[in-house]
Amino acid sequence: MIRQNKRKWMGSLLLLITALVVSSTPFRDLSSFPRELRLMEGSLEQLRVSVPVMGTLINSNPDILHVNGTEAREVSVDLSRPMSVEPRRAGEAQLQVKWHNIPLTAVKVNVLPDLRLYPGGQSIGVKLQTAGVLVVGHHLVDDGKNKFSPGEQAGIHVGDMIIKMNDMYINDMNDVKKLINETGKKNHAVQLLVVRGKEKLSLTLHPAKDKKDSEYRMGLYIRDSAAGVGTLTFFDPNSKAYGALGHVISDVDTGQAIVVGDGQIVQASVTSIEKGQSGNPGEKFARFYNESEVLGNITKNTPFGIFGKMKDEPKRSYYQTPLPIALAEQVEEGPAKILTVVEGQKVEEFDIEIANVVKQHFPATKGMIIKVTDKRLLEKTGGIVQGMSGSPIIQKGKIVGAVTHVFVNDPTSGYGCYIEWMLQDAGVNVRGTAESRTNTTKAA
């Protein structure tokens, strides 16, 4: 009986000791130690084990990393103090922490090549040509006997993209009009190749002759282009790649993402601003400036913005030298800046707060919630306004992301996306993998 009570007492004591160890600060710090870490070449990081003992750190590749300023493979370290890790060149290394010969923890470090970009902030005019013609509606054609839509009868839906007519690729609405008239006069049907989502459909349409003007018609409203104003986010001086807007350009009628056939960006000048207020987020009004001088092309329209190549380094940059970037996991809550234009073509810097960051292991929009704190910007715009999307976000001297959306019921706040995801869509390689209040929103 005494032996049984002793075992129970020892078991309870062991559980108590285990609970105390697990709840202790050193154990919590040790358990939260990262298993994988991404660093940019030339940066400096501090690692904390927070165990009050002396230990040994084993560095598998001193050519890649220096620890506490030394390139030795084994370093004696005070585990109660932060360890400085300095990436020397791109590559991978393993850091293992031991106490005597007992392994405590280890981290795989992936050092990425140094990447520096010119932050944007300039207002740009966007001219986008669709890859074909987009169907945005049906209309009735009166042939003198009936009123009907030949396109609807052919099975064409709103949101469809017509890319071929009679085996000919079409580029604009003039091509469509000419071909429909020529085919209709011969009393022939038109063979269409239509893209609907991820499907390609072959459809047959019989043009109808409108009795009002004797023109042959499809009974469809179509669109072949889009235009607007946004903000340049970044320019990569090495690849000449750029990114802008931070969100997809969608058709105003169908809400579908526009498939890029061709496009250009040009300079734009802000002429006035409609100040935002609750329920009405406000807007930048701008005009295209010096349209004959094309700044770059548009090759992609994705959830993270528009992308392409620029001929030259952008003019009127706020920073005269490129800035490093922050990876998605390096963005922190706290003070930051945005670059944007509120008058003419002058890029200015304004204070914001990154109120919340969302941990993202894979590309996703709405990576952070931001709030405008700059009194002058609040007075001028009321916060975030449409046309401000793409404005780069700078934190601690690094480009961390871009403004993407404004909260309709609170124009002082909105969403931002991480610069890393924009760079992926721009084709700028950022290698490695990390371990990595409800509001209605509107594109800014």
Question: Could you give phi then psi for residue 398, rounded to 5 degrees?
Answer: -125, 150
Is residue 67 within 8 Å of 95, Cβ to Cβ?
yes
Reply yes or no on whether 389 is catalytic: yes
Which position among 149, 389, 391, 413 bears the catalytic label? 389
How far apart CA 46 and CA 30 sit, in angstroms, is: 14
> How many C-alpha atoms does 236 have within 13 Å on its Cβ side?
23
Query: Active site includes 247?
Result: yes
CB 378 within 8 A of CB 325: no
> Which two tokens mark 344?
């003419």
What type of residue is 413? S
Residue 334: both structure tokens together: 């706290």
Pick the closest to residue 315 from 361, 269, 273 (CA basis).
Answer: 269
Tell me which of 66, 138, 247, 405 is the catalytic residue.
247
Q: Which of 90, 91, 92 is nearest to 113 (CA)?
A: 90
**Catalytic: 374?**
yes
- Give the per-residue SS3 of the chain: CHHHHHHHHHHHHHHHHHHHHHHCHHHHHHHCCCCEEEEECCCCEEECCCCCCEEEEEECCCCCEEECCECCCEEEEECCCCEEEEECCCEEEEEEEEECCEEEEEEEEEEECCCEEEECCCEEEEEEEEEEEEEEEECCEECCCCEECHHHHCCCCCCCEEEEECCEECCCHHHHHHHHHHHHHCCCCEEEEEEECCEEEEEEECCEECCCCCCEECCEEEEEEEEEEEEEEEECCCCCEEEEECCCCECCCCCCECCEEEEEEEEEEEEEEECCECCECCEEEEEEECCCCCCEECCEEECCEEEEEECCCCCCCCCCCCEEECCHHHCCCEEEEEEEECCECCEEEEEEEEEEECCCCCCCCCCEEEEECCHHHHHHHCCCCECCCCCEEEECCEEEEEEEEEECCEEEEEEEEEHHHHHHHHCCCCCCCCCCCCCCEEEC
Cβ neighbours of 3 (radius 10 Å)? 7
Active-site residue identified among 224, 236, 251, 374 = 374
Bridge partner residues of 386 (DSSP) = 283
Active site members: 247, 374, 389
